[in-house]
Amino acid sequence: MKVYKKIVLSLVTASFFVISCNDDFVDTKPLDQLSESVVWTDASLAEAFVSELYGGLGNGGFDEQMLASLTDETIFTHPGRNITTHTEGRINPADPGWINGTLSWANMYSRIRACNLALKNLETPQFPNTNNIVDRLKGEARFMRAYYYHQLLRYYGGVPIVDKPFALSDSDFLTARSTYEECLNFIVKDLDESAKLLDGKTLQKGRATKAAALALKSRLLTYAASDLYDVPTAKAKSKAMAAYAKPELLGFVSGNRAERWQKAKAAAKAVLDLPGLGFQLGLTAPVSADQASTNYINQSLGRNGGQNEIIFGRFFIQSKNENGGRVGLFNGPNGYNNWAGNTPIQELIDDYEMMDGTRFDWSKPEHAKAPYENRDPRMKSSILYEGSPWKPRSASAAPLDPANQIQTGEYEVVSGSTKRVHFGLDTRKSSIEDWNGSYTGYYMRKFTDPNPAIVDQNSWQQIPWPFLRYTEAILNYVEACIELGEDTEAKRWLNQIRFRSGMPAITETGDALRQRYRNERRIEMVFEEQRYHDARRWMIAPTTLGRKASIIVVKGTLKAGKNVSIYKYDPTNYDYSYTVGKIDPGKENRNWDDKIYFLPIHRDEMNRNNKLIQNPGY
């Protein structure tokens, strides 16, 4: 053993002296990396770099914790995820609560730096511009930089504008926050340039296009004209804003709102004028309820024509087993061995209209007796509720539910000659994964593949996440028309969405039309990360996002003479009662604080950059 050690030591020593005499050794290139000088001399490598810019999009909105649970759409079922830090108004610079990677300050700036590197190196390309590849890559990089800045702008207000990659030779790496208006103009300029560069270019699904650039511009200008970003209006509605010394960081301190709405209208119309986009539009009367439900499912799945809705999306490949393909698992019923993560609350359910366009009202006996009948068909396509037909259960659960229906209540059944209470398979007292049951009595159906083979945690789906879709541009156009007093034009477009959804025309004008539009947007865009931003920019958050979440309690009592041993939803056998209650405050006790109109800049970022100014209320 001692001899062996001496031999090894001698070989290592000899190798050291041989290597140390070889000057080439210190210039060895890593085998798993490429130098910057190489990347930008090769078109394929440059394209690969630009492709990686999309990595900051993550899973889109298909993370286990969804932004919907920070709104009056859903609550998050599982404890310990920092969701309630936000919903209960406790966020602060040291503890901002749950922060998605697609809105993280550090994450976004990391991606912006990569965009800046791409744009700098594409200024003087060192490879042939075959098929105008340089323009395409520049257009994509500009769009992605605009997208990441737009994320920062709508969560934090004005941020430092960094339009170049910092180098070690730079004397100062610290940058102050630009005003909201400066940031908006910078992003819009990027989008205008991107639209020009990408005009006429054919790209793969999931990449930036001219349409995507125009659609994002429409969103930005619609936001910019809204209450939250008009400082005089915001100050009148928010004590935190009224006391803030640097309001120009958060909105327009001067200028004409009507002009901003005109710009928003023009930007939206530019999207509407693009050919080949949209789905089931141009109708002059409502389709049937069944067709409407099918229409909405096709939109949310991006299939059977619904793919024409998606202007910019995140697409998933089943073989890669990406978390974005598990949205059904994350949110589906526990009785199907799913996790029930983001579950709809009663406030959302109540906002689905009746089929005749009137509001649902618990005080009306006919509504309270059968709350899920004759409702907007989009509810059936978006929500799983008591008695909803769904997929076949697992082999072990199938004997308990041969009808394949959602069970969210408690019901009388007969065992032998004895009545007993059966707790639904999709409740928190289920015999199947009770810990994953919904607290609210509802589950999310939208974005879930109805394929019976895709049932539980062993299944993956390929449903795209819609960052930008055509209907959003329509709604932006409608909103601008309403704010400009052009009600007839607004209703012409809004009713096309209604007719596609099986709903009657809206006839109101003025503020009544505005309120109907806002509810239509809430229903049409549900779970698409729109409500969080809409409630804030309209400054209605105290009466919407700040409400205590409500639940439904369903009970089925056997009618006289009925004998049921295996439960299924059946009004001929059961009398049903539906009671609205509030979520246990120990689970979630929602509270709105005006400071939440903008997120806090994290303490670590403030410590890194002494030129930053914190947002109001923090």
In this structure, are 152 and 186 located in the same domain?
yes
CATH number at 180 reads 1.25.40.390
**8 confidence band (pLDDT: 50, 70, 90):** very low
pLDDT reported for residue 13: 36
Residue 602 above 90 pLDDT? yes
Domain annotation covers residue 202: yes
Quick: pLDDT tens for 200-244: 987 888 999 999 999 999 999 999 999 999 999 999 999 999 999
267 assigned to some structural domain:
no
Q: pLDDT confidence of 430, banded at 50, 70, 90?
A: very high
Query: Tell me: the pLDDT tens digits for 44-56?
Result: 999 999 999 999 9
User: What's the domain count of the chain?
Assistant: 2
Do 181 and 157 lie in one domain? The reply is yes
- pLDDT, residue 3, reads 37
Verify that 67 and 214 share a domain, yes or no: yes
* 174 has pLDDT over 50: yes
Instruction: Assess if residue 269 is contained within a domain.
Output: no
Residues of the chain above pLDDT 90, percent: 87
- Give the pLDDT band of residue 27 (cuts 50, 70, 90): low
Query: Would residue 481 count as lying in a domain?
Result: no
Residue 558: CB atoms within 10 A of its CB come to 16
Average pLDDT in the 65-79 region? 97
One-letter amino acid at 276 equals G
How confident is the model at residue 26, as a pLDDT? 54
Can you give the residue range of the structural domain that contains 137? 36-246+598-608
Let me know whether 195 and 325 are in one domain. no
CA 322, CA 363: separation in Å to the nearest integer?
Answer: 45
The CA-based angle 454-457-460, given to 5 degrees, is 45
Write the pLDDT tens digit of every residue in 523-573: 999 999 999 999 999 999 999 999 999 999 999 999 999 999 999 999 999
What's the confidence (pLDDT) of residue 417? 85
Tokens of 35: 């130098």
What pLDDT band is residue 23 in, cutting at 50, 70 and 90? low
**Interacting residues of 485 by C-beta distance below 8 A, sequence separation 6+:** none
117 shares its domain with 151: yes
* Residue 563 shares a structural domain with residue 603: no
Residue 290, domain member (yes or no): no
The answer to whether the beta carbons of residues 387 and 364 sit under 8 Å apart is no
Is the pLDDT confidence value at 14 over 70? no
Same domain, 226 and 345: no
Q: What percent of the chain has pLDDT over 70?
A: 94
- CB within 8 A of 334, min separation 6: which ones? 340, 425, 426, 428, 430, 432, 433, 434, 435, 436, 437, 438
Whether residues 96 and 189 fall in one domain: yes
**Residue 578 lies inside a defined structural domain of this protein:** yes
State whether 76 and 218 are in the same domain: yes
- The CB-based long-range contact list for 319-325 (8 Å cut-off, 24+ gap) reads 321/460, 322/59, 323/59, 323/62, 323/63, 323/64, 324/59, 324/60, 324/62, 324/465, 325/62, 325/460, 325/461, 325/462, 325/463
Q: Is residue 4 part of a domain?
A: no
Whether residue 72 is found in the same domain as residue 168: yes
Residues 570 and 427 in one domain: yes
Q: Are 283 and 494 spatial neighbours (Cβ–Cβ below 8 Å)?
A: no
Q: How confident is the model at residue 10 (pLDDT cuts 50, 70, 90)?
A: very low
Do residue 216 and residue 331 come from a single domain? no
Does residue 106 sit within a domain?
A: yes
Least confident of 122-131, 255-264, 576-585: 122-131
